[in-house]
């Protein structure tokens, strides 16, 4: 409780006390009792009540989050040109009154939810896009009165600035901005630009009327049922297309994997065949070299083959029977007498 309120309370108490004393004096006078001393008390109480009333009407306490506009019958324009700053201030009793305005931040919300907005029920902004789609937009305007322009706000709007300035201007700006964009742009690539255009327009409008825009919040965008259904169908189609593309890619990778396996098997078969061919060549070359060595050995010693044949016979053979009409299998050595 500030000093001005205490003074008003004391003035009220003094006035009530004066009335009580007057009632007592009247009662005593009606019973023919002396009232000389009571009359002085009545006059004193009346003087005190009058003094306190004058003081209470002259003292004004301005809160830190407020500024005061002084309406004055003594000023040429009917008001003081400087707003009252926070603290205990004095005005001329009965000739000047003070209207206080908050300079702290205020929020005005327009919402489709019945209990969220400043107006009960659906207070969202209905707007149409450049391509004719209907949108329902929820928004909040956070603003404050410019402390340097409190008097201008009082003259132009008094206490109607919320209902007659902030609300209609915000709704009109939202509708104008929505009409500049297509619905796809608003919900995707141009959402930031869409919000910035509304915020800039709102800041300019409020500044021209003595208010400061702190923030413009685009809370929610709701589509018409028809467009919401079409968006859902489009999303389903896109998801099916993405799923089909994934299946195609999976099949392509499987085919590529099978091709690489087949190539690997073919390369392995070629390498194996090449290895067998090289082995055959090496084997043939070795046999050819062996035959050449055998031929050279036989050329130098013709009896070597006979000796080799005999070596291959079983060790226990002592006699061989050969038909008399067949030639010898091996040449016999020449006997010299």
- Write out pLDDT tens, residues 229-253: 665 566 666 776 777 788 888 888 8
Quote the pLDDT of residue 335: 46
> For a pLDDT cut of 70, what percent of the chain falls above it?
80
- What token pair was written down for 55? 């003081």
Residue 67 has pLDDT above 70, yes or no: yes
- What token pair was written down for 186? 């608003």
Cα–Cα distance measured from residue 107 to residue 126, given in angstroms and rounded to the nearest whole number: 20
- Output the CA torsion 153→154→160→162 (10° steps): 30
Q: CA angle, 305 as apex, 302 and 310 as ends, to 5°?
A: 135
Give the three-class secondary structure for 194: helix
CA proximity to 72, closest of 92, 55, 100: 92
Task: Name the DSSP class of 159.
Answer: G
CA proximity to 210, closest of 140, 160, 161: 161
Quote the pLDDT of residue 322: 59
106-223: what fold? Tetrahydropterin Synthase; Chain A (3.30.479)
Mean pLDDT for the chain? 82
CA proximity to 89, closest of 149, 214, 11, 3: 3
Which of 30-34, 169-173, 176-180 shows the lowest per-residue confidence on average (mean pLDDT)?
Answer: 30-34
Tell me the per-residue pLDDT of 304-334, one tens digit each, with 9 for 90 and over.
667 676 666 656 666 655 566 655 555 555 5
Which among 29-43, 51-65, 315-329 has the top mean pLDDT?
51-65
Per-residue pLDDT, averaged over 62-86, amounts to 92
CA proximity to 48, closest of 13, 98, 76: 13
């Amino acid at each position: 409780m500030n000093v001005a309120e205490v003074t008003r309370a004391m003035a009220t108490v003094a006035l009530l006390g004066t009335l009580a004393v007057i009632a007592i004096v009247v009662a005593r006078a009606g019973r023919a009792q002396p009232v000389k001393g009571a009359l002085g008390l009545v006059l004193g109480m009346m003087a005190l009540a009058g003094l306190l009333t004058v003081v209470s009407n002259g003292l004004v306490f301005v809160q830190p989050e407020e500024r005061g506009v002084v309406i004055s019958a003594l000023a040429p324009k009917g008001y003081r040109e400087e707003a009252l700053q926070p603290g205990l201030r004095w005005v001329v009793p009965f000739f000047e009154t003070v209207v206080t305005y908050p300079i702290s931040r205020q929020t005005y919300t327009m919402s489709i939810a019945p209990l969220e907005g400043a107006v009960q029920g659906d207070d969202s902004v209905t707007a149409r896009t450049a391509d004719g789609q209907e949108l329902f937009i929820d928004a909040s305007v956070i603003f404050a009165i410019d402390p340097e322009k409190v008097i201008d706000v009082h003259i132009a709007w008094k206490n109607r600035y919320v209902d007659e300035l902030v609300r209609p201007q915000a709704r009109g700006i939202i509708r104008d901005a929505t009409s500049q964009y297509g619905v796809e742009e608003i919900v995707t690539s141009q959402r930031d630009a869409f919000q910035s255009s509304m915020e800039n327009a709102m800041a300019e409008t409020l500044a021209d009327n003595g208010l400061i825009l702190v923030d413009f919040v685009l809370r929610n965008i709701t589509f018409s049922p028809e467009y919401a259904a079409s968006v859902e169908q489009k999303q389903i189609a896109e998801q099916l297309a993405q799923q089909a593309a994934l299946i195609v890619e999976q099949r392509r990778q499987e085919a590529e994997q099978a091709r690489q396996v087949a190539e690997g098997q073919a390369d392995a078969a070629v390498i194996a065949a090449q290895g067998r061919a090289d082995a055959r060549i090496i084997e043939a070359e070795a046999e050819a070299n062996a035959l050449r060595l055998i031929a050279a050995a036989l050329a130098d010693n013709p009896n070597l083959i006979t000796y080799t044949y005999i070596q291959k016979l079983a060790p226990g053979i002592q006699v061989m029977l050969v038909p008399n009409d067949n030639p010898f299998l091996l040449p016999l050595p020449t006997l010299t007498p």
